[in-house]
Amino acid sequence: MKPSPKADGFTLLEILIALAILAILMIGLIKITTYNTRNLWHIENKTLATLIAGNHAAQLRLAKDKPEQDDGWETQAGRRWYWQARRQITTTLGLWQYRIAVYLEGDKEPYTELISLIPEAYNAETDPPNLDADTTAPQQPNVSEPVMEPDNDATMPPDEPAIDTPAPLQNYE
């Protein structure tokens, strides 16, 4: 039997070339997926570290004692984080600058560093209370200024411009 010259199907060479192209494409897709997974892990850790730093900045604002440095461990999303807050010299009066660094357990570089300006704590020895201000009396409105009441009459004369209409710009040449 002779093979017919019009044989249907693919040759072995065509199939091998198609498989080689498919393998190259699959390797590229696997690399892209691996890269995206790694980036997702980094972004998730960066977000968690930023939240931890923000939480400790808020705690420093609310605390009566403002330590020069503070540190500790916290567990967030099943991971252990080490945070460190250090007060730095600042030229702004009445504010302390804190740098809060957050590290993932086992890492040497911080995932995030937050710089926060926090008001100094009240010191009764150096900051006397303000005796001039009477905070117990309710504030009375200033009666010398005229009070603008809303106009319930919806009709306005056509000659008068509406209150909200801005004045035309004048040329001062």
pLDDT tens, 108-152? 999 999 999 888 865 545 554 554 444 444 455 455 555 555 555
For the beta carbon of residue 79, count every other beta carbon within 10 angstroms. 14
- Please tell me the distance from the alpha carbon of residue 83 to that of residue 56, in angstroms, as a whole number: 9
Q: Say which CATH architecture domain 12-119 belongs to.
A: 2-Layer Sandwich (3.30)
pLDDT at residue 1, as a whole number? 56
100 within 8 A of 83, measured Cβ to Cβ: yes
Question: Which of the two residues, 60 and 126, has the higher pLDDT score?
Answer: 60
For the chain, give the mean pLDDT: 78
Residue 104 · residue 45 · CB < 8 Å: yes
> Which is higher by pLDDT, 20 or 142?
20
Q: Choose among 59, 57, 45, 51: nearest CA to 99.
A: 57
Please give the average per-residue pLDDT across 60-87, as a whole number.
91
pTM as predicted: 0.55
Nearest to 51 by CA among 83, 16, 93: 83
Residue 155 has pLDDT above 90, yes or no: no
Write down how long the chain is.
Answer: 173
Q: Which residue has the higher pLDDT, 164 or 72?
A: 72
Contacts 24+ apart (CB under 8 A), 13-18: none
